[in-house]
Amino acid sequence: MLSETLKKFGYPKTLIKKYENWLLLCRPKQVTLGSLILICKEEVDAFFKISEVGFYELPKIIKEIETKTKDLFQYDKINYLMLMMHDPEVHFHIIPRYSGEKTFANATFKDFGWPRMPGFDRVNEVESSVMKKLIEQLQKSFAC
């Protein structure tokens, strides 16, 4: 059954890659260019409830995320936030951070919170055509 959290973050339309225990999604509301969601496939509502195999897979996924997004977008820093205030399933918001504006598909992206916390209250407005190109580019990169 499709969880409310997956629906909220646009699954399956925003799916970048399926892992054994995790799903990587492109975040529909782009806090910064390349903002992602990593959500656990297990039906757990607390980080400590994830299976050992789920934890074991995380370092490989994190390495791939940081390598691929750095190659694509040349971020300055990257933030992982596990908030789970409104969405109970275990998931991370992955926010590449930029000291200046970035351009992708002729659209300009800002990091409204730099150099402090990411600005979730102020996100980049992204046209559907640009979002489609962003998802396609991420899928292509993570398929390698």
Inform me whether the pLDDT recorded for 76 exceeds 80. Answer: yes
pLDDT reported for residue 84: 84
Which fold would CATH assign to domain 4-143?
Answer: HIT family, subunit A (3.30.428)
Determine contact, residues 83/103, Cβ cutoff 8 Å: no
pLDDT reported for residue 70: 98
Specify the 3-state DSSP secondary structure of 54.
helix
pLDDT reported for residue 91: 96
- Mean pLDDT (the chain, rounded): 96
Model pLDDT for residues 20-75, shown as the tens digit of each residue: 999 999 999 999 999 999 999 999 999 999 999 999 999 999 999 999 999 999 99
pLDDT band for position 109 (cuts 50, 70, 90): very high
Element (DSSP H or E) covering residue 38: strand 36-40
Instruction: Let me know how long the chain is.
Output: 144
- Domain boundaries of the chain, sorted by first residue: 4-143
DSSP 125: -
Name 49's Cβ contacts closer than 8 Å, sequence gap at least 6: 42, 90
Inform me whether the pLDDT recorded for 2 exceeds 80. Answer: no
Global pTM value: 0.96
Burial of 69 (0-12, 13-18, 19+ CB in 10 A): buried
Mean pLDDT of the 5-21 span = 96
**Hunting for tokens 């962003």 — which residue is that?**
134
DSSP 62-104: HHHHHHHHHHHH--SEEEEE---SS--S-EEEEEEE-SS-EEE
